[in-house]
Amino acid sequence: MPIDLLAEGYGRKLLSSPHIWTVVQAAAAIGVVALLKFYFGGARCRSERVMHGKVVMVTGGTSGIGAAIVQELATRGAQIILLTHHAPTDPFLVDYIEDVRTITNNELIYAEQVDLSSLHSIRLFATKWVDNAPPRRLDMIILCANIMTPWFGTSQKTLDGLEAEWAINYLSTFHLLSILSPAIRAQPPDRDVRILFSTCSSYIGGKLELQHTESASKSGSTSYARSKLAVMTFAYAFQKHLDSYKRPDKQVNNARAFIIDPGFCRTPGTRRWLSGGLIWGLFLYLITWPVWWLILKSPTQGAQNYLLAAMDAEYGRGAGGKMIKECREYEPLRPEVKHEEVAKKLWEFSEKQIEQLEKEGAVKRALAKKETEKNEKNVPDSAADGTPVPSAGKKEATAGSRRSRKAK
């Protein structure tokens, strides 16, 4: 068929060949779609770095952009420590880690149970890490954990009584890094330590209304934008905090903070936001999926900015505190994120909020413990009909077991 068409086009004229305009129109349409896909796909990371022996701590590393980052760094030989709210024995987490180990041919993939919506859970993990002697190696912290309420939904509250976006997107980061700060500063001077924060262009419309963070916001978009603005302000302040530390060995600070904007991506969080968390919304999302496929990045494409900040040699020297978007450095469109007064106010508010909530949480746990002990003491040794009630700490002897045979 192609030979016949070429022969006919040569013998007659190309424009007089059958279906030539259909072919031209189809080629033009495919070309436009390809160009749009290339444009919306964003820049790609071209940097290379040997990651063997590097210890990388990742939040939000089991889905979306975080999972793409984990797979790429693990392929390069990095040791990955996933901070996840799943229990170590959770079937999903066990299968996920096994799959990553198989795909990347890297057995150094581990998980620590840390619930970022709980200040107590964060403190338990972070203090255990810091109390280790000598200090554990830590080359990188990648903060990808994120929650976004559907566009017409109301923000949820955590067990600590905080707005979910504020607690998970910002305050968990502040709490974790505040405790891990000694471990970060204790790293040898020849070690390149990088901390990667996550942001979003929604920070441009955010307002640091700190008094509203302990109540569920009527607008999920408002609370999300506020949390991202707070993250950026804290990131710049944390870089100054690291730079101000005087090392005992008189060496310069070797830890650098970077703010990463991955762009708009087809992550589970974005899908939930677009669908509103509803069945009919998900159905509508599936119908319009070709549009989202075209204009939204895939998780792998969104991970390129993180990979650049993690591997580029340029970011391993010089000053930190830089914002990276589309694999280039950008200046924030909200200049107040670099103001010391704004950062000081946010830092002091966050410390007081955490202190207050941890005290309240400690009281609640103590009361719950006393209630549990009281209930255990009130458990009767036998039922009303005289039948013995087995103790909670003892196992019943089942027929055919070694315990039952020994009793006989």
Amino acid at 248: P
pLDDT in the model for residue 395? 45
Q: Does 289 reside within a domain?
A: no
Question: What per-residue confidence (pLDDT) applies to 28?
Answer: 87
Residue 401 lies in a domain: no
DSSP β-ladder status, 322-325 and 328-330: antiparallel
Which helix (DSSP H) or strand (DSSP E) does residue 111 occupy? strand 109-113
Structure tokens at 235: 């990131």
| 408 is a domain residue | no
The mean-pLDDT minimum among 221-235, 289-303, 391-405 falls in 391-405
Question: Is 66 within 8 Å of 142 (Cβ atoms)?
Answer: yes
Distances from the Cα of 190 to the Cαs of 51, 115, 193, 251, in angstroms?
15, 32, 9, 9
Of the listed 54, 228, 322, 325, which one is catalytic? 228
Dihedral through CA 373, CA 378, CA 381, CA 386, nearest 10? Answer: -160
Answer yes or no: 228 catalytic. Answer: yes
Phi, psi of 217, deg, nearest 5: -75, 145
pLDDT band at 400 (very low <50, low <70, confident <90, very high): very low
CB 141 within 8 A of CB 196: yes
Segment 337-359 shows an average pLDDT of 94
What three-state secondary structure class fits 214? coil
The domain of 74 spans 55-262+297-355
- In a domain? residue 156: yes
Dist CA 54 CA 59 (whole Å) = 16
The Cα 228–Cα 242 span in angstroms is 21
**21: in domain:** no
Show Cβ contacts of residue 74 under 8 Å, excluding neighbours closer than 6 positions. 80, 100, 101, 104, 106, 108, 109
Percent of the chain with pLDDT over 70: 85
Peptide bond into 88 cis (omega under 30): no
Greater pLDDT, 154 or 145: 145
pLDDT tens by residue, 76-132: 999 999 999 999 899 999 999 999 999 999 999 999 999 999 999 999 999 999 998
Q: How far apart are CA 297 and CA 41, in angstroms?
A: 5
Q: Give the domain CATH number at 96.
A: 3.40.50.720
Evaluate whether residue 13 is within a structural domain.
no
CB-neighbour burial class of residue 22 (10 A; exposed 0-12, middle 13-18, buried 19+):
exposed
Residue-wise pLDDT for 296-309, tens only, equals 999 999 999 999 99
d(CA 235, CA 227): 12
| 3-class DSSP state of 322 | strand
Residue 314 contacts by C-beta under 8 Å, 6 or more apart in sequence?
none
Write down the pLDDT at residue 402: 41
pLDDT band at 155 (very low <50, low <70, confident <90, very high): confident
Rounded Cα distance, 314 and 319, in Å: 10
Spatial separation of the C-alpha atoms in residues 72 and 264, rounded to whole Å:
20
- Could you tell me if residue 146 is inside a domain? yes
Q: How many domains is the chain built from?
A: 1
pLDDT for the residue numbered 160: 86
How much is the pTM? Answer: 0.85
pLDDT given for residue 1 in this prediction: 54
- Which residues lie across from 59 on neighbouring strands? 83, 143
Which tokens belong to 132?
């280790």
**Distance in angstroms (rounded) separating the CA atoms of residues 378 and 375:** 5
- Residue 199's φ and ψ, nearest 5 degrees, are -135, -175
Domain assignment present for residue 396? The answer is no
Bridge-based pairing state of the strands 255-261 and 322-325:
parallel
How far CA 40 is from CA of 228, 291, 358, 395, 402, in Å, comes to: 23, 12, 44, 61, 67
DSSP of 47-74? -----TT-EEEEESTTSHHHHHHHHHHH
The pLDDT, as a whole number, for residue 373 is: 85
Which of the two residues, 215 and 314, has the higher pLDDT score? 314
